[in-house]
Amino acid sequence: MAFQPLDHPIRFRQAQRVTELRTPSSGTTDSVRQVRLHPAWIVAGVGFIALLGAAAFRSVPSVLMDPLHEEFGWSHGTVGAAVSLNLLLYGLISPFAAALMDRFGIRTVVAGALLLVAAGSGLTVFMTQPWHLVMTWGLLVGVGVGSMSMPFVATITGRWFVRNRGLVTGVLTAAGATGQLIFLPVVSALAHEHGWRLPSLIVAGVALAVVPLVLLFIRDFPSDVGVSAYGAEPGSRIGVRTPAVGGATRALTVLATVARRPGFWLLAGGFAVCGASTNGLVGTHFVSAAHDHGMPPTAAAGLLALVGIFDVAGTVASGWFTDRVDPRYLLVAYYTLRGLSLLILPSLFAPHTQPSMWVFIIFYGLDWIATVPPTVALCRELFGADAPVAFGWVFASHQIGSAVAATGAGVIRDMQGSYNLAWYIAGALCGIAALMSAVIRRGQ
């Protein structure tokens, strides 16, 4: 079999022997059928790995909050501030990263982002002051993971898929959101047994290991390998390379355009609440809150990992529903149910995991980031070709909400000795997000 470069369609040949009935007039006929895997699935697969890795990088700070507090005496608010900068940059870099992917290519941006993560994570082993934590995990890692955030998903699915676009969005979103929670018990166990520096070094090594995969297998457009987007009609321009435009300035141009439309602000406001009620509050403070009630940190991290496992099912199912149901109705349901679950969470904490907490973990896990596929779909419907960058700004609001919640919940804990008020505020905000989603007008 001749070697085929990566810049040509990727073909996987599977020999399938077909044996016909032997008769006096016919012998046995062997045939080899060519089975072709569309390159879109290769790109999506490597994107999945990169997003999973980025999720692992984000899982470290929340688990290390107590070890850093014990070793350096830094308050929860101080550590939470570094996490807040990470979350804030994770969102604010996103629209610029999406625009830079248009200008310089997906491979260049993602590979550079992984190198930043490796540098930021590796340098933490030398820190002695709080500002060192802010510069490494906050700034360097924040910029790195921000360049591999949800707009990366929107870019891949918008260029490479027509058929199953919602489903693939759900799968890739699950990698980005759920991987963080799945890695939590691993990071927690390593920190407990070997100290917090080992997980930081492992993250740096993993980030470097993913770079070759990105450089070898990611391509920017289907036309680069001589195919159309998966499921595209003959003659469709979807997936055809277009001239590079704008660079980072395009992010600001798109923002100026979409900011004039009410639908953008309704989506952004709802997504800010989504970030506050997931990554900012639960993702950052759940382990510490459970520990306040006598639960071992490793057990609490295990519960968050279960949230991640159930989120895989919930987010993939949400992608499937998004292909079939009005995305606005899905958002109303998701925000309402999440708000109710957060309102009852303070009464569920105990030294040992009770059945009621298991119910919360399953229920909340199914709803963790199920909001992403319908939000991406509405951005694509409302903003057309500008959808990836527009979603980058919507996602920025998600991370602004995350940053506010990460710091705010830490301050509430320091002042009141309890996280209860933070859970109640988040539950109420989810109700407001449900109302905002209900009044979005399609085509607005």
Give the tens place of pLDDT for each residue, 71-120: 787 776 777 777 778 777 877 888 888 788 878 888 889 899 989 988 88
Q: Which of 440, 394, 379, 441 is nearest to 158 (CA)?
A: 379
307/311 Cα distance (integer angstroms): 6
pLDDT at 179 exceeding the cut of 70? no
Phi, psi of 163 (to 5 degrees): -75, 140
At 250, list the tokens: 């395009």
Say how many CA atoms lie within 13 Å of 240 toward its Cβ.
Answer: 7
Q: What percent of the chain has pLDDT over 70?
A: 86
Q: Which of 147, 148, 108, 141 is nearest to 122 (CA)?
A: 141
- The percent of the chain in helix, strand and coil, each rounded to the nearest 5, is 75, 0, 25
Domain residue extents for the chain: 39-224+246-438
Q: Tell me the torsion sign for CA atoms 87, 94, 182, 107.
A: negative
137/78 Cα distance (integer angstroms): 13
352/369 Cα distance (integer angstroms): 26
Architecture of the CATH domain 39-224+246-438? Up-down Bundle (1.20)
pTM over 0.75: no
User: What b-and-e string marks burial along 231-256, b requiring 16 or more CB atoms within 10 Å of the CB?
Assistant: ebeeeeebbeeeeeeeeeebbeebbe
Q: For residue 128, what pLDDT band results from cuts at 50, 70 and 90?
A: confident
At 267, list the tokens: 């989506």
64/143 Cα distance (integer angstroms): 20
143/243 Cα distance (integer angstroms): 26
Instruction: Note the pLDDT tens digit of each residue in 8-30.
Output: 444 433 333 333 334 344 444 44
Q: Could you give the 3-state DSSP secondary structure of residue 51?
A: helix
Alpha helix positions (H), 147-196? 150-160, 165-194
pLDDT at 166 exceeding the cut of 70? yes
User: What is the reported pLDDT for 217?
Assistant: 87
Residue in this structure with the two tokens 């680069």, named with its chain if needed: 224
User: What is the reported pLDDT for 50?
Assistant: 85
277/282 Cα distance (integer angstroms): 7
Residue type, 294: G
Residue type, 9: P
